[in-house]
């Protein structure tokens, strides 16, 4: 069973639809027992990091997510919440990945923030990217990013290289939206669901 974490963030339905297109029937839930017993957990997110963390702390989901043992996939803000701290609202996050979340600070004004659109992933090193070619395009919408760190398994370049994806133990995460990244994104989701 695939569980999608239900909380006060957007794009949950899109993630649900993407799993369905791959033949899975996920459940969208905030029930602790269901989350803990799921085969895979997807932690999506669009929105504000501080508002999301406040909510997760308030309903007691922070420690539940941090303690999950099965493969977990954080997406976009979901990935950022799995990091140590976010500059967005200056908030402490779940700390699975020992990396900060920082705002894009373009030195060249031709770089627009948010980064919105399709950019390439490279330096792919994870089963998450099985059958995904270097320089494949994926879809991004974000104003904050995680620098390249020990857990980086894919990189993208926008005002410099940053982490396109992270992996530590059973936790995986992508800054881009696999559920919106056409056939490339479908392959990445398929890889995660097959872990």
Partner 1 sequence: MLAKRIIPCLDVKDGTTVKGVQFVNFRNAGDPVALGKQYSEMGADELVYLDITASFEGRKTFTDLVRRIAAEVSIPFTVGGGIHELSDVERLLAAGADKVSVNSSALRRPELITEIATRFGVQECVCAIDARCEEDGHWRCYLNGGRVPTERGLFEWAHEAQERGAGEILFTSMNHDGSKQGFAIEALGRLHDELSIPIIASGGAGCKEDFLNVFEQAHVDAALAASVFHFGEIPMAELKQYLADHGVNVRQTVKR
Catalytically active residues are 76, 177, 179
67 binds partner 1 (CB under 8 A): no
Phi, psi of 125 (to 5 degrees): -145, 80
Instruction: Tell me how far, at minimum, the Cβ of 18 lies from partner 1, in Å.
Output: 7
Question: Which one of residues 60, 67, 117, 127 is an interface residue with partner 1 (CB under 8 A)?
Answer: 117
186 binds partner 1 (CB under 8 A): yes
Range list of β-strands (E), 23-151: 27-29, 40-43, 72-75, 85-86, 91-92, 100-103, 115-121, 136-142, 144-145
14 binds partner 1 (CB under 8 A): yes
Q: CA 12, 73, 6: angle at the middle one, nearest 5?
A: 30
**Between residues 90 and 110, which has the closer beta carbon with respect to partner 1?**
110
11 binds partner 1 (CB under 8 A): yes
23 binds partner 1 (CB under 8 A): no
112 binds partner 1 (CB under 8 A): yes
From residue 109, alpha-carbon distances to 2, 85, 105 in Å are 42, 26, 9
From residue 3, alpha-carbon distances to 31, 34, 38, 136, 195 in Å are 10, 7, 6, 27, 15
115 binds partner 1 (CB under 8 A): yes
For residue 91, what are the β-bridge partners?
A: 86
Question: Which one of residues 29, 34, 36, 119 is an interface residue with partner 1 (CB under 8 A)?
Answer: 119
Contacts with partner 1, residue ranges (CB under 8 A) = 10-11, 13-14, 17-18, 20-21, 46-48, 109-110, 112-120, 137, 139-143, 157-158, 177, 179-183, 185-186
């Amino acid at each position: 069973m695939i569980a999608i974490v239900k909380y006060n963030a957007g794009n949950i339905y899109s993630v649900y639809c993407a799993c369905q297109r791959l033949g899975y029937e996920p459940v969208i839930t905030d029930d602790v027992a269901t989350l803990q017993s799921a085969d895979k957990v997807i932690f999506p997110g669009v929105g504000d990091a501080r508002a999301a963390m406040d909510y997760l702390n308030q309903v007691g989901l922070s420690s539940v997510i941090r303690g999950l043992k099965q493969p977990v996939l954080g997406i976009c803000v979901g990935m950022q919440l799995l990091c140590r701290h976010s500059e967005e609202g200056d908030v402490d996050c779940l700390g699975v990945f020992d990396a900060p979340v920082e705002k894009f600070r373009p030195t060249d004004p031709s770089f627009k923030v948010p980064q919105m659109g399709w950019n390439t992933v490279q330096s792919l090193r994870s089963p998450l990217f099985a059958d995904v070619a270097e320089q494949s395009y994926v879809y991004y919408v974000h104003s904050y990013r995680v620098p390249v760190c020990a857990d980086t398994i894919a990189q993208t370049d926008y005002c410099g290289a940053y982490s396109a994806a992270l992996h530590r133990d059973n936790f995986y995460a992508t800054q881009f939206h696999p559920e919106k990244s056409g056939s490339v994104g479908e392959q990445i989701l398929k890889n995660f669901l097959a872990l």
